[in-house]
């Protein structure tokens, strides 16, 4: 855990972007939804979080990260409610209705 563990996602993102560039593949990233949605993910890279449209991504929920992760900090700057270290997130079916309270972290 801790600060260094939260940066693993950053390093993976850099690796994935370099590999995609070297192989001539499309740059990895988050798909853009057609309607306002809550984005659920294991974690997000800083570049992916910074590129989110707050009118389409109305909240974030991740299974990894912490309050000092880039995802949490950038989401806060964008005004997107964000909860991190959510257990059971993988069990939530796509399209399920949900509420996210970024203040309480629930």
Catalogue all structural domains in the chain, each as residue range(s) with its CATH number: 2-91 (3.50.30.10)
pLDDT, tens digit, 9 for 90 and up, residues 4-62: 666 777 788 788 889 988 999 987 778 889 999 999 999 888 888 999 999 999 999 99
Give the CA angle between residues 64, 93, 78 to the nearest 5°: 50
What predicted TM-score, i.e. pTM, was given to this entire model? 0.76
Q: At what angle do helices 70-78 and 8-23 cross, to 10 degrees?
A: 90
DSSP-derived pairing of the beta strands 57-62 and 82-83: parallel
**93 phi and psi angles, rounded to 5 deg:** -70, 150
For every residue of 10-45, DSSP letters joined together read: HHHHHHHHHHHHHHTPPPP-PPPPSS-EEEEES---
């Amino acid at each position: 855990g801790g600060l260094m563990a939260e940066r693993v996602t950053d390093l993976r993102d850099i690796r994935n972007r370099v590999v995609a560039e070297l192989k001539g593949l499309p740059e990895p990233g988050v798909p853009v939804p057609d309607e306002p949605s809550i984005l659920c993910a294991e974690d997000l890279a800083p570049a992916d979080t910074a590129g989110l449209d707050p009118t389409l991504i109305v909240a974030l929920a991740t299974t990894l990260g912490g309050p000092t992760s880039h995802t949490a900090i950038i989401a806060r700057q964008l005004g997107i409610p964000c909860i991190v270290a959510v257990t059971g997130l993988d069990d939530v079916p796509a399209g399920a209705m949900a509420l996210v309270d970024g203040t309480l972290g629930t």
